[in-house]
Structure 1
C-alpha cells in the first residue's frame, strides 16, 4: 500500500499534508521503491506482490513511466485477465508459471482507461481504517468501498491500526485482537476470509502477531485449518 504524489518534477512516495506532498512528508522517489520490489521478485521467483496505490499523480502517464523505468513491467499481471464480477483469480502456480507476479491497483479510476492500471474499487472491498475501524467486535466498510459482503468484488482487505501509529498500541492491536478482528470481518464480508491485512509495526505483538494472523488466513483459505502449517503437513483440523 503506497501513497504516490507529484513532487520535484517526479513521482514520489509521500504522506500528504493538506493534500500535498512536502519536503517534510516526502519519503523517496517512487522508482527507488519500485526497483526494490523488482529485485525482490527477481530473487524470489515463486512470490507474488500486490501493490495498492493511493494515487495522487496527475502527470500524464506518470505512474506508467515509473513502472517502465523500474523494470517491473516484465512481472505485470494484465488488467485484461483480472476476474470480473467476483470470479476466482488464477492459481498461484499458474501466475508463477507465466511470471505474472505483480498485481497493481490504483485509487484513481481514470487510470484504468488511460494507463491500464486496475481501479481498486472494482475488485476490492475494504474495512474502515484508523480509529474508526479498531474495534474487533465490529467490522464496517470504509467510505469508498462497496459493502463488505458485496461478492462482485473478489478481494477483501482488512485494516487494523490506530489513526496515529504508536508502537505500544500496535503491539496490543497485533496480538489476540487482530485474530478476533479477522473472524469478525469474515462474517461481515459474507463468510469470506481476508486476502490482505494492513497493520502498523507488523513485527510487534505479544505473541504470533501479524505473522500468526496471516498463517491463520492462509490455513482457512487453503484447507479450512486454523494454521497454514496444518495444511502443509497434512494434520487434521476443524473445518
Structure 2
C-alpha cells in the first residue's frame, strides 16, 4: 500500500473514531460539543457563545442555590450518611437536609450570580425613533435573569429624555442609538420579583450618570424603597455584613451601589468602592 493510500486510510479511521466518540442522546457533559439540547445530559443545554468558545457546547441551565451549599451547626450531625468513595470517606446530606436552606451566615459569606449589563438585552423593544446601534450582553429579560438565579445586576443609568434611562453608551451621555429604555420599567420588574419572593435579596451595581436625586425619585416611583438596605447598616473596614436571615426578617432585601461617591452622603446610596 502506498504512502498516499496509508494517509487516506488513517484519515478515514480518525474521522470514524471522532464521529463514534462524539456524544449525543443526552450523554454530552459540561462543555462537550453538541448540536442540539437533546445531546446534553440533564441540567445542561446546547449553547453557542463566540466570546467564550468555538461552536456549540453543553452549558448549565440551572444555577446552584447558594443557601443549600452550607450546613448549619444546628443540624443534627447524626443524620449524616457516611459513604465510601475511592477509598476515602465523604459526608453526604440526606434528602431531607438537602432541602434545607441555610441563610444564617453574614451576607458576605455567600457568592451570588451576577449579570453584567443586565439591561442590555438582545431584542429589547425600541423606545426611540431610530434603530439601536450598541452592544448587547444578555438574552433574557430582567425577570427571567432573576428567575434563573441571578441575584446581582450591573446596570448603567443615565439622564436621558427628561428621565432616568438604561443606556449602553459612551462619554457619560445617552443617545437615541444607545438607549434601551426607561429605568423604571426595569426597576418595576425587580420590585415584582422581590414582592413575589419574600426571602430573596437583590443587589444592584450602578454605573451612574444620573444627576442629583434622579435615582432616589425613580426608585421611589418603582416602589423599591420599602426594601432598601440602609447605608447606616453597612459594615465598615471589612467587617461582616448582617446575617442574611436578619436582612430577610427586616425586609431590607435590596442593596444598591453607585459609582458616584457623593451620593452616599446626599442620597443614602452606597458608594460601591467603600464596600467592594
User: When the two structures are superposed, what TM-score results if normalisation uses the length of structure 1?
Assistant: 0.51
The equivalent position to 2:235 in structure 1, one of 67, 83, 86, is 83
The equivalent position to 2:187 in structure 1, one of 34, 46, 53, is 34
| 1:21 is the counterpart of 2:178 | no
Number of positions where the alignment pairs a residue of Structure 1 with one of Structure 2? 123
CA distance in 2, matches of 1:103, 1:121: 14
Structure 1 stretches of 4+ with a deviation exceeding 3 A read none
Instruction: Identify the structure with the greater helix proportion.
Output: 1
The residue that corresponds to 1:189 in the other structure is: none
The equivalent position to 1:6 in structure 2, one of 133, 144, 159, is 159
Whichever of the two has the greater Rg, that structure is: 2
| 1:96 is the counterpart of 2:229 | no
CA distance in 2, matches of 1:71, 1:61: 16
CA distance in 2, matches of 1:65, 1:50: 18
The residue that corresponds to 2:261 in the other structure is: 109
The residue that corresponds to 1:44 in the other structure is: 197
CA distance in 2, matches of 1:18, 1:67: 24
Q: How does 1:154-165 map to 2 (within 5 A)?
A: none
> Tell me, what secondary structure is at the counterpart of 2:229?
coil
Gap runs ≥5 in structure 1? 125-239
Q: How does 1:46-85 map to 2 (within 5 A)?
A: 46-58=199-211, 60-85=212-237
CA distance in 1, matches of 2:162, 2:176: 13
Gap runs ≥5 in structure 2? 1-153
User: Displacement of 1:19 after TM fit?
Assistant: 2.9
User: Displacement of 1:18 after TM fit?
Assistant: 3.3
User: When the two structures are superposed, what TM-score results if normalisation uses the length of structure 2?
Assistant: 0.44
User: Displacement of 1:113 after TM fit?
Assistant: 1.2
CA distance in 2, matches of 1:61, 1:5: 12
CA distance in 2, matches of 1:17, 1:106: 17
> Tell me, what secondary structure is at the counterpart of 1:74?
helix
CA distance in 2, matches of 1:82, 1:19: 28
Deviations, residues 82-129 of structure 1 (Å, cap 9, x unaligned)? 0010000111111111100000100000111111100000000xxxxx
